[in-house]
Amino acid sequence: MIEACKVTDMPEGVPTAREAYIEACTKPSPKVKQRWSNPIVYLSGRDSGWYLLSNAPEYQALPVFTAIYEGYCKALLVGETFEINKTADATGSRPTPASEAVSEEQLKKLKQLFG
């Protein structure tokens, strides 16, 4: 009953906590590049930790996600707006390879270690 009351106050298109949890768990990586039903779903997943959501059983991960999601919902209800900063998440970027000189030096050190 409490969940039903929360849902009626929410703007249209904002999923319930359980629907948001399922969405966050099922979106592929990189998460920041996906299309989300609402930015707070992504933000709640990010704040909960993608590792937790993909590796912990639901009975452990859902309460963590729900607590964070409800915080975002409360902020949304008082007029706060949210957006996903697609440039802040560098998980999709590739590291710069080391120069040949640095690679040679590291290889020498490894050879010395394992002689």
Is residue 45 a part of any domain in this protein? yes
Model confidence, pTM:
0.70
- Write the CB contacts of 50 (distance below 8 Å, at least 6 apart in sequence): 29, 31
Is residue 71 a part of any domain in this protein? yes
Is residue 53 a part of any domain in this protein? yes
Instruction: State pLDDT tens for residues 31-51.
Output: 999 999 999 999 999 999 999
Average pLDDT over the chain, rounded to an integer: 84
- pLDDT above 50: residue 54: yes
Is residue 58 a part of any domain in this protein? yes
Alpha helices in 28-99 (DSSP H): 39-48, 50-55, 58-77
Is residue 107 a part of any domain in this protein? no
**What does each C-alpha distance from 48 to 37, 54, 56, 87 come to in angstroms?**
18, 11, 11, 20
Is residue 115 a part of any domain in this protein? no
Residue numbers of the domain that contains 29 = 2-88
Is residue 56 a part of any domain in this protein? yes
Q: What percent of the chain has pLDDT over 70?
A: 83
Count structural domains, the chain. Answer: 1
Is residue 73 a part of any domain in this protein? yes
